[in-house]
Protein backbone atom coordinates (compact mmCIF):
# COMPACT_ATOMS: atom_id res chain seq x y z
CA UNK A 1 0.00 0.00 0.00
CA UNK A 2 1.29 3.45 -0.86
CA UNK A 3 2.67 5.56 1.98
CA UNK A 4 0.32 8.36 0.94
CA UNK A 5 -2.65 6.02 1.30
CA UNK A 6 -1.42 4.85 4.69
CA UNK A 7 -0.96 8.41 5.92
CA UNK A 8 -4.42 9.34 4.65
CA UNK A 9 -6.05 6.50 6.59
CA UNK A 10 -4.10 7.36 9.74
CA UNK A 11 -5.09 11.02 9.50
CA UNK A 12 -8.75 10.13 9.03
CA UNK A 13 -8.59 7.86 12.08
CA UNK A 14 -6.92 10.61 14.12
CA UNK A 15 -9.55 13.15 13.07
CA UNK A 16 -12.37 10.77 14.08
CA UNK A 17 -10.82 9.93 17.47
CA UNK A 18 -9.51 13.30 18.58
CA UNK A 19 -11.97 15.73 17.00
CA UNK A 20 -13.07 18.27 19.68
CA UNK A 21 -16.06 16.97 21.61
CA UNK A 22 -17.84 20.35 21.30
CA UNK A 23 -18.34 19.63 17.62
CA UNK A 24 -20.25 16.41 18.35
CA UNK A 25 -22.22 17.82 21.26
CA UNK A 26 -23.83 20.71 19.41
CA UNK A 27 -26.91 19.92 17.31
CA UNK A 28 -27.71 23.19 15.58
CA UNK A 29 -30.68 23.64 13.27
CA UNK A 30 -29.09 26.51 11.35
CA UNK A 31 -29.03 25.03 7.85
CA UNK A 32 -28.41 26.77 4.52
CA UNK A 33 -28.95 25.30 1.06
CA UNK A 34 -27.81 27.25 -2.01
CA UNK A 35 -28.08 26.63 -5.73
CA UNK A 36 -25.88 28.69 -8.05
CA UNK A 37 -25.28 28.67 -11.80
CA UNK A 38 -22.04 29.59 -13.55
CA UNK A 39 -22.39 30.16 -17.30
CA UNK A 40 -19.44 31.13 -19.49
CA UNK A 41 -19.41 31.46 -23.27
CA UNK A 42 -16.46 32.78 -25.27
CA UNK A 43 -15.86 33.28 -28.97
CA UNK A 44 -12.26 33.37 -30.22
CA UNK A 45 -10.54 34.40 -33.42
CA UNK A 46 -6.89 33.42 -33.84
CA UNK A 47 -4.31 33.91 -36.52
CA UNK A 48 -1.05 32.12 -35.88
CA UNK A 49 0.26 30.94 -32.59
CA UNK A 50 -0.22 27.19 -32.76
CA UNK A 51 2.04 24.61 -34.46
CA UNK A 52 0.71 23.54 -37.82
CA UNK A 53 -0.49 19.93 -38.04
CA UNK A 54 0.37 17.75 -41.02
CA UNK A 55 -0.11 19.52 -44.34
CA UNK A 56 -2.29 22.30 -42.92
CA UNK A 57 -1.13 25.75 -43.99
CA UNK A 58 -4.16 27.88 -43.10
CA UNK A 59 -3.28 28.81 -39.54
CA UNK A 60 -6.61 30.38 -38.67
CA UNK A 61 -9.08 29.42 -35.98
CA UNK A 62 -12.62 30.65 -35.38
CA UNK A 63 -14.64 28.90 -32.72
CA UNK A 64 -16.83 29.37 -29.66
CA UNK A 65 -16.48 27.53 -26.38
CA UNK A 66 -18.86 27.28 -23.47
CA UNK A 67 -19.04 26.04 -19.90
CA UNK A 68 -22.01 25.58 -17.59
CA UNK A 69 -21.79 24.70 -13.92
CA UNK A 70 -24.60 23.85 -11.54
CA UNK A 71 -23.39 24.36 -7.97
CA UNK A 72 -25.27 22.87 -5.04
CA UNK A 73 -23.96 23.82 -1.60
CA UNK A 74 -25.08 22.94 1.91
CA UNK A 75 -23.83 24.44 5.17
CA UNK A 76 -24.57 24.22 8.86
CA UNK A 77 -22.31 24.77 11.89
CA UNK A 78 -19.32 22.43 11.63
CA UNK A 79 -20.34 20.92 8.27
CA UNK A 80 -20.15 22.00 4.63
CA UNK A 81 -20.78 20.10 1.41
CA UNK A 82 -20.67 20.99 -2.28
CA UNK A 83 -21.46 19.27 -5.55
CA UNK A 84 -20.60 21.02 -8.84
CA UNK A 85 -21.75 19.46 -12.10
CA UNK A 86 -19.93 20.81 -15.16
CA UNK A 87 -20.40 20.62 -18.92
CA UNK A 88 -17.84 22.20 -21.23
CA UNK A 89 -16.82 22.06 -24.86
CA UNK A 90 -16.68 23.70 -28.27
CA UNK A 91 -19.95 24.78 -29.84
CA UNK A 92 -21.08 22.11 -32.28
CA UNK A 93 -19.44 19.25 -30.35
CA UNK A 94 -20.89 17.03 -27.66
CA UNK A 95 -18.38 18.31 -25.12
CA UNK A 96 -17.67 16.67 -21.79
CA UNK A 97 -19.70 16.30 -18.62
CA UNK A 98 -18.11 15.68 -15.24
CA UNK A 99 -18.37 16.41 -11.55
CA UNK A 100 -15.96 19.28 -11.03
CA UNK A 101 -16.40 19.33 -7.24
CA UNK A 102 -17.78 16.78 -4.78
CA UNK A 103 -16.57 17.34 -1.23
CA UNK A 104 -17.53 17.55 2.41
CA UNK A 105 -15.81 19.64 5.07
CA UNK A 106 -15.87 19.22 8.84
CA UNK A 107 -15.03 22.31 10.90
CA UNK A 108 -14.33 22.57 14.62
CA UNK A 109 -14.72 25.62 16.86
CA UNK A 110 -10.98 25.76 17.51
CA UNK A 111 -10.07 26.25 13.82
CA UNK A 112 -9.36 22.65 12.83
CA UNK A 113 -10.97 21.30 9.66
CA UNK A 114 -10.96 18.24 7.43
CA UNK A 115 -12.08 18.34 3.79
CA UNK A 116 -12.28 15.27 1.57
CA UNK A 117 -13.34 14.77 -2.04
CA UNK A 118 -12.81 16.46 -5.41
CA UNK A 119 -11.95 20.07 -4.68
CA UNK A 120 -10.10 23.17 -5.88
CA UNK A 121 -6.64 23.89 -4.50
CA UNK A 122 -5.98 27.64 -4.64
CA UNK A 123 -2.95 28.98 -2.83
CA UNK A 124 -1.37 32.42 -2.73
CA UNK A 125 -1.36 34.01 -6.20
CA UNK A 126 -2.30 30.65 -7.81
CA UNK A 127 1.03 30.43 -9.63
CA UNK A 128 1.72 26.84 -8.54
CA UNK A 129 -1.71 25.63 -7.39
CA UNK A 130 -4.83 27.36 -8.74
CA UNK A 131 -8.21 26.81 -10.37
CA UNK A 132 -7.10 28.11 -13.80
CA UNK A 133 -10.64 29.35 -14.32
CA UNK A 134 -9.99 30.80 -17.79
CA UNK A 135 -9.93 27.31 -19.26
CA UNK A 136 -13.17 25.46 -19.75
CA UNK A 137 -12.36 22.45 -17.55
CA UNK A 138 -10.27 24.13 -14.80
CA UNK A 139 -8.30 22.33 -12.10
CA UNK A 140 -9.71 20.21 -9.31
CA UNK A 141 -8.08 17.44 -7.28
CA UNK A 142 -9.25 14.28 -5.54
CA UNK A 143 -7.68 14.85 -2.14
CA UNK A 144 -7.90 14.87 1.63
CA UNK A 145 -7.14 18.30 3.08
CA UNK A 146 -6.51 18.77 6.81
CA UNK A 147 -5.72 22.06 8.43
CA UNK A 148 -5.99 24.78 11.00
CA UNK A 149 -7.01 28.43 10.51
CA UNK A 150 -7.08 31.01 13.26
CA UNK A 151 -5.25 33.93 14.92
CA UNK A 152 -3.54 34.90 11.66
CA UNK A 153 -2.22 31.38 11.05
CA UNK A 154 -3.24 28.98 8.28
CA UNK A 155 -1.72 25.50 7.99
CA UNK A 156 -2.91 22.97 5.41
CA UNK A 157 -1.85 19.41 4.62
CA UNK A 158 -3.09 17.94 1.33
CA UNK A 159 -2.87 14.21 0.57
CA UNK A 160 -3.78 12.70 -2.81
CA UNK A 161 -3.40 9.18 -4.22
CA UNK A 162 -4.74 8.39 -7.70
CA UNK A 163 -5.40 4.89 -8.98
CA UNK A 164 -6.92 3.07 -11.93
CA UNK A 165 -10.26 1.35 -11.69
CA UNK A 166 -8.90 -2.09 -12.57
CA UNK A 167 -7.08 -2.31 -9.28
CA UNK A 168 -6.89 -6.12 -9.29
CA UNK A 169 -5.10 -6.24 -12.63
CA UNK A 170 -2.22 -3.83 -13.18
CA UNK A 171 -3.59 -1.54 -10.53
CA UNK A 172 -0.16 -0.42 -9.37
CA UNK A 173 0.25 1.64 -12.54
CA UNK A 174 -1.58 4.95 -12.90
CA UNK A 175 -1.89 5.96 -16.53
CA UNK A 176 -2.43 9.70 -16.91
CA UNK A 177 -3.98 9.17 -20.34
CA UNK A 178 -6.98 7.38 -18.81
CA UNK A 179 -6.95 9.26 -15.51
CA UNK A 180 -7.99 12.75 -14.56
CA UNK A 181 -4.78 13.99 -12.91
CA UNK A 182 -1.18 14.21 -14.15
CA UNK A 183 0.30 12.60 -11.03
CA UNK A 184 -0.08 9.38 -9.07
CA UNK A 185 0.42 10.82 -5.59
CA UNK A 186 0.80 14.24 -4.00
CA UNK A 187 1.69 15.47 -0.53
CA UNK A 188 1.44 19.25 -0.08
CA UNK A 189 2.08 21.31 3.04
CA UNK A 190 1.20 25.03 3.08
CA UNK A 191 1.61 27.54 5.87
CA UNK A 192 0.50 31.18 5.81
CA UNK A 193 0.78 33.91 8.41
CA UNK A 194 -0.66 37.44 8.38
CA UNK A 195 1.02 39.99 10.63
CA UNK A 196 -1.47 41.98 12.67
CA UNK A 197 0.35 45.31 13.00
CA UNK A 198 1.56 45.66 9.41
CA UNK A 199 -0.19 44.70 6.13
CA UNK A 200 2.26 41.85 5.50
CA UNK A 201 1.66 38.17 4.89
CA UNK A 202 3.93 35.32 3.85
CA UNK A 203 3.50 31.68 2.87
CA UNK A 204 5.66 28.56 2.73
CA UNK A 205 4.84 25.76 0.29
CA UNK A 206 6.19 22.20 0.02
CA UNK A 207 5.05 19.60 -2.50
CA UNK A 208 6.11 16.00 -3.07
CA UNK A 209 4.74 14.64 -6.37
CA UNK A 210 4.88 11.03 -7.53
CA UNK A 211 4.69 10.21 -11.24
CA UNK A 212 5.21 7.10 -13.37
CA UNK A 213 6.79 6.50 -16.75
CA UNK A 214 3.87 6.08 -19.14
CA UNK A 215 6.00 4.03 -21.56
CA UNK A 216 6.62 1.13 -19.16
CA UNK A 217 4.25 -1.67 -18.19
CA UNK A 218 5.09 -1.76 -14.48
CA UNK A 219 7.03 1.45 -13.74
CA UNK A 220 8.22 2.55 -10.33
CA UNK A 221 7.02 5.83 -8.93
CA UNK A 222 9.50 8.70 -9.21
CA UNK A 223 9.24 11.65 -6.85
CA UNK A 224 9.96 15.32 -7.37
CA UNK A 225 9.80 18.04 -4.73
CA UNK A 226 8.98 21.73 -4.78
CA UNK A 227 9.87 24.12 -1.98
CA UNK A 228 9.29 27.86 -1.93
CA UNK A 229 7.86 31.01 -0.40
CA UNK A 230 5.46 33.80 -1.28
CA UNK A 231 5.35 37.27 0.32
CA UNK A 232 2.73 40.01 -0.03
CA UNK A 233 2.98 43.53 1.37
CA UNK A 234 0.01 45.84 0.76
CA UNK A 235 0.21 49.28 2.36
CA UNK A 236 -2.14 52.05 1.26
CA UNK A 237 -2.34 52.25 -2.56
CA UNK A 238 0.44 49.66 -2.99
CA UNK A 239 0.49 45.91 -3.37
CA UNK A 240 3.92 44.26 -3.55
CA UNK A 241 4.40 40.54 -4.20
CA UNK A 242 7.43 38.28 -4.45
CA UNK A 243 7.89 34.53 -4.75
CA UNK A 244 10.70 31.99 -5.06
CA UNK A 245 10.48 28.23 -5.71
CA UNK A 246 12.92 25.38 -6.26
CA UNK A 247 12.26 21.99 -7.83
CA UNK A 248 14.28 18.89 -6.94
CA UNK A 249 14.09 15.09 -7.13
CA UNK A 250 13.62 13.10 -10.34
CA UNK A 251 11.08 13.14 -13.15
CA UNK A 252 9.12 10.11 -14.42
CA UNK A 253 12.12 9.09 -16.56
CA UNK A 254 14.42 9.06 -13.50
CA UNK A 255 16.26 12.19 -14.67
CA UNK A 256 17.43 14.52 -11.86
CA UNK A 257 15.63 17.86 -11.53
CA UNK A 258 17.39 21.09 -10.58
CA UNK A 259 15.16 24.03 -11.46
CA UNK A 260 14.02 27.29 -9.90
CA UNK A 261 11.98 30.41 -10.46
CA UNK A 262 11.42 33.85 -8.94
CA UNK A 263 8.93 36.64 -9.50
CA UNK A 264 8.46 40.26 -8.46
CA UNK A 265 5.30 42.30 -8.90
CA UNK A 266 4.18 45.80 -7.88
CA UNK A 267 0.73 47.38 -8.15
CA UNK A 268 0.04 51.05 -7.45
CA UNK A 269 -3.37 52.77 -7.34
CA UNK A 270 -2.92 56.55 -7.65
CA UNK A 271 -6.70 57.12 -7.71
CA UNK A 272 -9.96 55.24 -7.60
CA UNK A 273 -10.01 55.16 -11.40
CA UNK A 274 -6.41 54.26 -12.21
CA UNK A 275 -4.11 51.41 -11.24
CA UNK A 276 -0.62 50.62 -12.53
CA UNK A 277 1.24 47.30 -12.49
CA UNK A 278 4.70 46.01 -13.35
CA UNK A 279 6.78 42.94 -12.69
CA UNK A 280 9.44 40.46 -13.69
CA UNK A 281 9.41 36.65 -13.85
CA UNK A 282 12.43 34.38 -14.23
CA UNK A 283 11.97 30.66 -14.82
CA UNK A 284 15.10 28.57 -15.25
CA UNK A 285 15.72 26.62 -18.46
CA UNK A 286 17.68 23.62 -19.63
CA UNK A 287 21.34 24.21 -20.34
CA UNK A 288 22.29 24.34 -24.02
CA UNK A 289 18.95 23.05 -25.35
CA UNK A 290 19.22 21.49 -28.79
CA UNK A 291 16.65 23.22 -30.99
CA UNK A 292 17.21 22.28 -34.66
CA UNK A 293 16.03 24.48 -37.49
CA UNK A 294 12.46 23.98 -38.69
CA UNK A 295 12.32 20.98 -40.99
CA UNK A 296 15.43 19.40 -39.45
CA UNK A 297 15.70 16.70 -36.82
CA UNK A 298 18.19 16.13 -34.05
CA UNK A 299 18.89 13.64 -31.29
CA UNK A 300 18.67 15.04 -27.80
CA UNK A 301 19.52 13.73 -24.35
CA UNK A 302 18.74 15.13 -20.91
CA UNK A 303 21.22 14.53 -18.12
CA UNK A 304 19.49 17.02 -15.78
CA UNK A 305 16.13 18.76 -16.06
CA UNK A 306 16.70 22.46 -15.36
CA UNK A 307 13.53 23.80 -16.95
CA UNK A 308 11.09 24.90 -14.26
CA UNK A 309 7.60 23.37 -14.37
CA UNK A 310 4.67 25.60 -13.37
CA UNK A 311 2.67 22.48 -12.38
CA UNK A 312 -1.04 23.14 -11.68
CA UNK A 313 -1.36 26.92 -11.45
CA UNK A 314 -3.64 29.44 -13.14
CA UNK A 315 -1.47 29.78 -16.23
CA UNK A 316 -3.54 32.35 -18.10
CA UNK A 317 -2.75 35.16 -15.66
CA UNK A 318 1.02 34.69 -16.00
CA UNK A 319 3.55 34.78 -18.85
CA UNK A 320 1.30 36.43 -21.44
CA UNK A 321 -2.17 35.68 -22.72
CA UNK A 322 -1.00 33.99 -25.94
CA UNK A 323 -0.36 30.68 -24.17
CA UNK A 324 3.02 30.18 -25.82
CA UNK A 325 4.89 29.42 -22.65
CA UNK A 326 4.29 26.51 -20.27
CA UNK A 327 1.14 25.39 -22.02
CA UNK A 328 2.54 24.05 -25.30
CA UNK A 329 5.51 21.70 -25.36
CA UNK A 330 8.93 22.49 -26.75
CA UNK A 331 11.10 20.38 -29.03
CA UNK A 332 12.03 16.99 -27.48
CA UNK A 333 10.90 18.12 -24.05
CA UNK A 334 13.54 20.81 -23.70
CA UNK A 335 12.64 24.24 -22.38
CA UNK A 336 14.90 27.30 -22.52
CA UNK A 337 13.08 28.87 -19.55
CA UNK A 338 11.61 32.34 -19.65
CA UNK A 339 12.26 35.92 -18.65
CA UNK A 340 9.08 37.99 -18.64
CA UNK A 341 9.23 41.74 -18.09
CA UNK A 342 5.84 43.44 -18.11
CA UNK A 343 3.96 46.59 -17.16
CA UNK A 344 0.40 47.79 -17.64
CA UNK A 345 -2.45 50.02 -16.55
CA UNK A 346 -6.14 49.70 -15.75
CA UNK A 347 -8.60 52.56 -16.17
CA UNK A 348 -12.11 52.49 -14.66
CA UNK A 349 -14.13 55.45 -15.98
CA UNK A 350 -17.39 54.02 -14.61
CA UNK A 351 -18.26 51.74 -11.73
CA UNK A 352 -19.26 48.99 -14.15
CA UNK A 353 -16.67 49.58 -16.89
CA UNK A 354 -12.88 49.02 -16.99
CA UNK A 355 -10.10 48.99 -19.59
CA UNK A 356 -6.70 47.32 -19.33
CA UNK A 357 -3.50 47.42 -21.38
CA UNK A 358 -0.40 45.29 -20.65
CA UNK A 359 2.94 44.98 -22.45
CA UNK A 360 5.31 41.97 -22.20
CA UNK A 361 8.89 41.61 -23.33
CA UNK A 362 10.09 38.00 -23.27
CA UNK A 363 13.49 36.33 -23.47
CA UNK A 364 14.81 32.85 -22.89
CA UNK A 365 16.52 32.15 -19.57
CA UNK A 366 19.19 29.86 -21.06
CA UNK A 367 21.36 30.22 -24.14
CA UNK A 368 20.42 28.56 -27.42
CA UNK A 369 23.14 27.91 -29.95
CA UNK A 370 22.87 30.06 -33.07
CA UNK A 371 19.80 31.90 -31.79
CA UNK A 372 19.06 35.20 -30.13
CA UNK A 373 17.57 35.01 -26.61
CA UNK A 374 14.77 37.43 -27.50
CA UNK A 375 11.35 35.79 -27.97
CA UNK A 376 9.30 38.84 -28.82
CA UNK A 377 6.92 41.57 -27.70
CA UNK A 378 3.30 41.08 -26.69
CA UNK A 379 0.59 43.69 -26.28
CA UNK A 380 -2.69 42.82 -24.53
CA UNK A 381 -5.83 44.96 -24.55
CA UNK A 382 -9.01 44.06 -22.69
CA UNK A 383 -12.23 45.60 -21.40
CA UNK A 384 -15.01 44.51 -19.09
CA UNK A 385 -18.56 45.78 -18.58
CA UNK A 386 -21.11 44.65 -15.99
CA UNK A 387 -24.44 44.76 -17.85
CA UNK A 388 -26.62 43.96 -14.84
CA UNK A 389 -26.03 42.20 -11.56
CA UNK A 390 -24.33 38.80 -12.13
CA UNK A 391 -23.92 39.42 -15.89
CA UNK A 392 -20.60 40.60 -17.32
CA UNK A 393 -19.42 41.12 -20.90
CA UNK A 394 -15.68 41.26 -21.60
CA UNK A 395 -13.48 41.40 -24.68
CA UNK A 396 -9.81 41.32 -25.49
CA UNK A 397 -7.21 41.54 -28.24
CA UNK A 398 -3.60 40.37 -28.13
CA UNK A 399 -0.85 41.01 -30.66
CA UNK A 400 2.57 39.38 -30.51
CA UNK A 401 5.57 40.11 -32.65
CA UNK A 402 7.65 36.96 -32.32
CA UNK A 403 11.27 36.37 -33.28
CA UNK A 404 13.00 33.63 -35.25
CA UNK A 405 13.88 32.00 -31.94
CA UNK A 406 10.20 31.73 -31.06
CA UNK A 407 9.52 30.18 -34.47
CA UNK A 408 12.18 27.51 -33.84
CA UNK A 409 10.91 26.76 -30.35
CA UNK A 410 7.27 26.44 -31.36
CA UNK A 411 7.92 24.98 -34.84
CA UNK A 412 5.84 27.67 -36.56
CA UNK A 413 7.71 29.01 -39.56
CA UNK A 414 6.83 32.47 -40.85
CA UNK A 415 4.35 33.36 -38.11
CA UNK A 416 6.07 36.27 -36.43
CA UNK A 417 2.95 38.46 -36.37
CA UNK A 418 0.31 36.77 -34.27
CA UNK A 419 -3.22 37.94 -33.43
CA UNK A 420 -5.86 36.74 -31.00
CA UNK A 421 -9.23 38.28 -30.21
CA UNK A 422 -12.03 37.10 -27.95
CA UNK A 423 -15.48 38.10 -26.67
CA UNK A 424 -16.87 36.51 -23.49
CA UNK A 425 -20.14 36.50 -21.56
CA UNK A 426 -20.13 35.42 -17.91
CA UNK A 427 -23.30 34.90 -15.87
CA UNK A 428 -23.22 33.92 -12.18
CA UNK A 429 -26.72 34.07 -10.65
CA UNK A 430 -27.82 32.60 -7.36
CA UNK A 431 -30.97 30.60 -8.15
CA UNK A 432 -32.17 30.26 -4.60
CA UNK A 433 -31.04 30.21 -0.99
CA UNK A 434 -33.01 28.40 1.66
CA UNK A 435 -32.36 28.76 5.39
CA UNK A 436 -34.07 26.84 8.17
Per-residue pLDDT reduced to its tens digit, 374-429: 999 999 999 999 999 999 999 999 998 888 888 777 766 655 778 889 999 999 99
Predicted pLDDT at 4: 58
Which is nearest to 132 in space by CA: 188, 182, 203, 82?
182
- With a cut of 70, say whether residue 253 has pLDDT above it: yes
Over residues 227-239, the mean pLDDT reads 96
Predicted pLDDT at 273: 96
- pLDDT-based confidence at residue 25 (cuts at 50, 70, 90): very low
Predicted pLDDT at 434: 94
Predicted pLDDT at 326: 64
SS (H, E, C) 65-84: EEEEEEEEEEEECCEEEEEE
Q: How many distinct structural domains can be found in the chain?
A: 1
Phi, psi of 114 (to 5 degrees): -140, 130
127 pairs with which residues across the strands?
A: none
Instruction: Among 19-33, 295-309, 382-396, name the one with the lowest average pLDDT.
Output: 19-33
pLDDT averaged over every residue in the chain? 86
- pLDDT-based confidence at residue 321 (cuts at 50, 70, 90): confident
**Percentage of residues in the chain having pLDDT higher than 70:** 81
Phi, psi of 135 (to 5 degrees): -70, 160
- pLDDT-based confidence at residue 346 (cuts at 50, 70, 90): very high
3-class DSSP state of 329: coil
Alpha-carbon distance of 1 to 39, in angstroms, equals 41
DSSP code for 184: S
Alpha-carbon distance of 119 to 101, in angstroms, equals 5
Domain that holds residue 117: 3-435
Predicted pLDDT at 405: 84
Over residues 107-112, the mean pLDDT reads 94
Over residues 266-276, the mean pLDDT reads 96
Which is nearest to 24 in space by CA: 16, 36, 34, 32?
16
Instruction: Among 21-30, 135-144, 304-313, name the one with the lowest average pLDDT.
Output: 21-30
Query: Domain of 254: which CATH number?
Result: 2.40.160.100
Predicted pLDDT at 415: 59
The answer for 124, left when phi > 0, alpha when psi is -120 to 50, beta otherwise, is: left
Predicted pLDDT at 61: 79
Classify strands 60-76 and 153-161 as parallel, antiparallel or unpaired. Answer: unpaired
Alpha-carbon distance of 251 to 225, in angstroms, equals 10
Q: Of residues 310 and 371, which shows the higher confidence score?
A: 310
Amino acid sequence: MSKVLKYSCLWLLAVALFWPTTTRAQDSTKNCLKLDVNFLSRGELRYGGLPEVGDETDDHARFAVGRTRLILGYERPHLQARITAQHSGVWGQSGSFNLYETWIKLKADNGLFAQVGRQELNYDDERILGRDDWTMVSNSHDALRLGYEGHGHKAHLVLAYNQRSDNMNGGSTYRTDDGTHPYKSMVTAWYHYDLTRVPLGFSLLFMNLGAQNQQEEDPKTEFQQLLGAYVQYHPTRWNLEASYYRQMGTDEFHIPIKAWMMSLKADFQPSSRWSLTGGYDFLSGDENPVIPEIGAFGLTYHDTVRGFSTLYGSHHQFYGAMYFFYIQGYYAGYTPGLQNLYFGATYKPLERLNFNATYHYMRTASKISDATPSLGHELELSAGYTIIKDVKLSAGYTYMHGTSTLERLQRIEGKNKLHWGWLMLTVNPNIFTKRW
